[in-house]
Copies of this chain bind each other. A is one copy, B any other.
Amino acid sequence: MSTRYRGTQDEVRALSALITVMRASEALVASLQRELAGKGLTASQFGILDVLLHIGPICQGELAGKLLRSGGSVTSVVSGLEKRGLVARRRDGSDKRYVTVSLTEKGRKAIGGLFPEHARTVARQFAALTAPEQDELRRLCRKLGRSVSAA
């Protein structure tokens, strides 16, 4: 991850860009995790509650797809949320292989109360960039992410 590598110009530029993208992303995550820790939630738990709040009941496989996580990981985090009474699991469709996860009232209150503050925090984090800069960052990351995922 260091730039002290005698590669081609393209390699040095790419390695250098990689480091800053990763550092920015890790700084964002670390900052959000610290904030969530105070509320008794991990980032993974928040991610699942967030999807359930904004998209509604959804099966675990789709949850894994949206969060870019393995199915096993989702099973484990959902189990934790279920134990705490924040989400409910049901196998009620015609296809009994699917498990539908939904927010309980307790879960809805928890994430509903937290999200506005989360949004303010994120806006504060990105306030270092102007609006056009944020849009440009999004454009570049989308292009990069799509290409990497497709490869």
Contacts and interface: CB of A to CB of B under 8 A. Distances in A.
Integer count of this chain's copies in the complex: 2
Contacts of A62: none
Given A129-B143, A141-B23, A123 B11 contact: yes
B28 A134 contact: no
Interface residues of A, number: 62
B27 A148 contact: yes
Interface string A127-147: 111010111111011111111
A8 B123 CA distance: 9
A125 B14 contact: yes
Interface string A1-42: 110110110110111111011111111111100000000000
Given A20-B142, A137-B144, 11 more contacts: A2-B54, A2-B55, A8-B123, A11-B119, A17-B135, A20-B138, A22-B28, A28-B145, A125-B144, A128-B146, A136-B140
28 contacts: A1-B51, A2-B51, A4-B54, A4-B55, A7-B119, A10-B131, A13-B123, A14-B119, A15-B119, A15-B122, A16-B138, A17-B126, A18-B28, A18-B125, A20-B137, A20-B138, A20-B142, A20-B145, A21-B28, A23-B141, A24-B142, A26-B68, A27-B148, A125-B147, A125-B151, A127-B147, A128-B144, A129-B143
